[in-house]
Each structure stands twice: as C-alpha cells, then as structure tokens.
A = this chain, B = another copy of it.
Amino acid sequence: MIVIMEKDYLKKDLNLVIDRIHREGLRAEPIIGVERTVVAVVGDITEIPEMKSNLEETPGVAEVQRISTPYKLSSRQVQKEDTIVDVSGVKFGAKNIVVIAGPCAVESEKQTVETAIAVKKSGAKVLRGGAFKPRASPYSFQGLEKEGLKILSKARKETGLPVATEVISPEDVELVSEYSDILQIGARNAQNFPLLKKCGKAKRPIILKRGLGETIEEWLLSAEYILEGGNKNVILCERGIRTFEVATRFTLDIDAIPLTKNLSHLPVIGDPSHGTGKRILVKPVAKACIAAGADGLIIEVHPNPEQAKSDSPQQLNFSEFEILMREVRKIARADGRKL
C-alpha cells in the first residue's frame, strides 16, 4: 500500500501516518520527493481491511493506493494452473470448448425435452433452462419453479445431458441442488452476498454471471465469496454489461474474456444471447467469444422462439443453433481446440 501525502501536509500528519502503520505491526517507508511525499506500507495487510480507509482519513493524506488485488483465491497469482470444473465428465476450462444450450425458461416437458434432444444432436454438452426466472416486471412470467426442476430432470434422463439452472434465493440452493448439476447465479444476483455464501457451501459447480454494472474486479470478488466458502468449482460467465448503447440489449465485453482468463485461473464462458439481445447477433458474437479464448458458451434455444414466454427476441430455433454450432466448431479448430 502506498500513502500519498497532500502537497501542504504538516510534519505531524506524516508522523501520525507512520504511527498508524507501526501500530498494526507493519513497516513504514517514507519517501520525501521534490513534488510529493509518499509512504510505502511494507508487510501483509490482507488481514487489516480497514487499514486503507484509516490511512485515507488521516489529516494530510491525499490518497492511498493498493498495490495488490483484493481477491486471492480466484487470482492467478495464487494458482497458476487453470481450474478445470468437471460436471459428470464434462470439463470446463480444459482445452475443449463446452456449449450449454436450452430454453430461456422451462415452459413444458415437451418444449424442454424436445430442445434437449435437438441441442444434444448439434453438440451441446449441457442443457440449460430456467425454472426460477428473475424478471424485471412482476407481471412477467416468473417460471414453473419446482415443476420446472422436475422437467429438467426428465430431460436429463432422456438425453444424458447434465443440467444447469438458475437459483435466485439462498433458501432454494438445496432444492435446486437436488435437481440440477450446475447452479447458475444470474447477473442481477451477482452481488447477492447471502446467495453467494450459500453457493459456497453447495455441492454443485456454480456458473457465476457478471453483474450488469459490475467491474471485473468486483466479479472476481463475488467469485471469492464462493471459493472462500469451500466450493472451488466456479465458472465465470461474461453476459454483457450496461452501456450507453441502445441498439443492443447489453454490450458483451469481449475484452473481459481474455483479461479475466489472465487475472484468474477459473474457466470463463460467454453468453451471446443476453450479451446482444438480438437473434441475428448471437452467432457472430458466439464465434467472437471463442476466438477471444472463452472456454465455452451458453446459448438460448427454443423450438419456437416467437412463442417463447421470455427472451423471445434472442432465442435461436434448432436450425439456427445447428448452424451456429457448425461455425463455432470451425473457429474452435482454427484455434487448436475442439468442441
């Protein structure tokens, strides 16, 4: 940590800064510059989170800058090698690319099983489908809930595909874990800390979507909540952030994919369905995610997108998905990877 003093600080302010550092058992190294004076804090400060603000509050202090990342367990500095998340033999974070596909919402057994069969045929390795739906409006379809979970189980039985579904409340973590192979934490719950903590104790791997107003650093801190609880199986998912652009539903942050893989050892997948919100953009942006180094994709597929109860404008039909898979496969191969 580096403490930068105001230009016109008083001698006693500097002494107070040094005092406060010493009081915590750390070493203080003041550097008196021509233009500015700074004090370097030497020692391990991870156990003293309030230190930064204490110093910021000391009279005569202009700024305090951290020089290490606030997340630890999710950091590549702590673990060099990639984490591989294994879901019933499907491996995220290994060289192969994994595609998760299925309807935005589970609407019926027929719709779900039909979709599961179709996406499996095209090469998807995991089935997705929402049973608990977080919707901006209370008047929108809220999901089939437990009934939806049962349908997902049936679809797994029919196809052998492991299942991923969203959990939106800490109280539901156990219930959803019974039925689903992967728990998904959605963008709107990216900083729902009780939910993150509960998922840290869950037996299932977690897909952690990035919040729509969340920085990459905060995203990794959210992952930290899960890792810190003991659950090491976290898959990060970039799904678009909120920007001023109104022509797309969100802006998929393509930079975030290679950057997050650089900062963290966790697998990173892309969600071009939510990241664009427009059917015609899903395929090109899916290809871009893979070219940028994503470990997989999550894609919304529906037998009749125009009749879907949610996210209708961004779901693909079976043949659109088949074409997407064919093209993504080529990109993966060009990149020396398999799908």
Contacts and interface: CB of A to CB of B under 8 A. Distances in A.
Interface of A: 2, 4, 7, 29, 31-36, 38, 40-44, 46, 49-50, 53-54, 56-58, 62-63, 65, 67-68, 70-71, 77, 134-141, 168-171, 188-189, 191-195, 197, 211-218, 221-222, 224-225, 228, 241-248, 251-259, 262, 275-276, 278, 280-281, 284-285, 287-293, 305-313, 327, 330-331, 333-335
Nearest to A225: B138
B2 A38 contact: yes
A41 B192 CA distance: 39
A306 B53 contact: yes
> Which of A40, A138, A191, A193 has its CB near the most chain B CB atoms (within 10 A)?
A138
Contact of A255 (B36, B169, B195, B248): B248
A135 to B, nearest CB: 7
A215 B252 contact: no
13 contacts: A32-B42, A50-B141, A56-B312, A57-B308, A71-B137, A134-B191, A136-B191, A136-B218, A171-B194, A241-B243, A241-B245, A251-B251, A287-B335
B254 A285 contact: yes
Given A331-B331, A331-B335, A245 B256 contact: yes
A151 to B, nearest CB: 19
